[in-house]
Amino acid sequence: MAIKVGDQIPAMDLTTMTADGPAPLATADYFAGRKVAIFSVPGAFTPTCSAKHLPGFVEQANDLKAKGIDEIACFSVNDVFVMHAWGESASASGKVTMLADGNAAFAKALGLDADFSGFGMGIRSQRFSMIVDNGVVSHLNVEEPGAFNVSSAEYMLGQL
């Protein structure tokens, strides 16, 4: 069953790149006491994700923060090295935190995983965005397969 508005984010670890290398990031700590805009893409460096999704949140970071968002995060079923390189290539540093879900554990725990085996990509995450307020989902925007509408930064700005 997929996560829904009003649900608590599952307690588990994602991975992020730090100055000292890869480090686990506990979701319970990460989402506690603040409002986080998080979005998920099927894959780093893939066409829509690289041309529209991540750049939109990078471009709209200041506007989202002006409307009460404390942090913006992108997660994908990729390893932390790929997520870090993708963030650097998109000038996301200081605007969007890149989080790796290398084994799709978080996507599965959210019930928002998708089988992209037909494209040679294995289990990934569906494309979506959500606002998490103190660990609880307050807004959830899940795209239809192949679409890019309701998970964009612009759509989220309209919800705030």
- Catalytic sites, residue numbers: 49
Q: Is the dihedral of CA 65, 71, 75, 78 positive or negative?
A: positive
Structure letter (DSSP) for residue 93: T
Of residues 133, 129, 131, the one with CA closest to residue 152 = 129
Q: How far apart are CA 145 and CA 115, in angstroms?
A: 11
Q: Give me the sheet containing 71-76, strands edge to edge.
A: 21-26, 13-18, 97-100, 71-76, 35-41, 128-133, 136-142
Residue with tokens 């089988």: 115
